[in-house]
Structure 1
Amino acid sequence: MTEPTKIEPLDFAALLCSRVCHDIISPVGAIINGLEVLDEEDNDEMKAFAFDLIRKSAKTASAKLQFARLAFGAAGSAGAEVDLGDAETVAKRYMEGEKADLVWEAERRLMPKNQVKLMLNLLLVSLHAVPRGGKIVVRTEGPMPQPAQIIEATGPSSRIPPRVLDLINGEIADGLDAHAIQPYYAGTLAREAGLVVTIRKDEETVIIEARPQSEG
């Protein structure tokens, strides 16, 4: 494997911020649209529609922000551990707005924060493996402090997302943008945690694994 390509810290931070904003801007825009309808319409049905739009969009924005805080944010001080139960909660709320159904089978326990952040980022990667929806199963296996992470995405037209493994491995010959930074970040987390990510396809299932380097 080639040495991962390094990018400037300021560029890294800017691209991650762009990624988070990309997720949040749609529901926030819908809230604004709903408020404009309330300001301009006297029709009760339209007002009811606007209130429903605002309510659903606010719930979606909150879910995405909570997910981003754990998946991309500090989530505690250096060396902190994170409860997988918290990760399950934010993941399930995030997935309510996605086409795929989430089955969370990872045992509840405390794990190093970068391993938890990696799990959530690999969940995001798995969503691109089933663009038409399906089922995503998240589980862990093996002992602490480095249990293996396994995510299986099953659905029609499942695929290994283009460039994703290269980006996870830190290969950015084709450049980085707000979309590509997320799998690149996942790879950075994996290396920091001493885990190696592999991706393979078995019929309609794309299997993403992060295992300790000693198993490689």
Structure 2
Amino acid sequence: MPTTSITGLLIVEYNRFTLATAGAPPGCLDLPPNGLLGVPAESRPFEEGTVAVVATGVSSDAVHITAETWPAQPPTDLSSWQDAGVITLDWPGGPASLLGEDASPPAELPLGADLPAGRYALLVAGTNRDEGEARSEGMPVETYLIQLWPAADDQPHELVLKATSATTALWRQPPPPRIVVQPRAVGGGDGAGSVGVHQVLGRLPGLRCPAGVSRSSSHIGDDAR
């Protein structure tokens, strides 16, 4: 059984809501690279207390949330959910809240638990994520399950369990291209068989060669000489 459980509506803003400590400001500049949930990419003073961010399909509207804390990993049936994932995060201690719209007062759904400091696992499962950024009356409400528990020592940092919605595909960020640079042969020869930096860059669509490097020349800096 969960230690605490709360269900309610939360008004989100800019396609996201956050998990944060008591008194933290709402909002986060980052959207998770996996399209569903993640931790902030960097620490910013105006986001102090934000420990996780969840991407939503709706831009500025209500989502329905059931949020639970557990003493250990819960048994969770994900068959009815579109998307689901688990991350680990460092909790500084104290009460936890889900924060949405930056209003006065801010949109908030307290988890009702004073959590000890430590490493936790956060599961987020969502459905009705593809009904549009703005929903008219009668349309399905975007719905989430949030579960938080102390992480086991072998808990992976991030685990995508389901990714079936178009919203997750939209927000998912591809990994950066892998660039392998082979050094050009040393000597005065024609460099046959060698690969220069400009040749690798030239094969990546949308990636420009640095100044002084030509896509067609056979040596770095030929354009400048």
- Report the TM-score range of the alignment, normalised by the length of the smaller protein: under 0.3
The higher radius of gyration belongs to 2
TM-score by length of 1: 0.24
**More strand, by proportion:** 2
Comparing both chains, which one has the higher relative contact order based on Cα–Cα distances under 8 Å and sequence gaps of 6 or more? 2
**More helix, by proportion:** 1
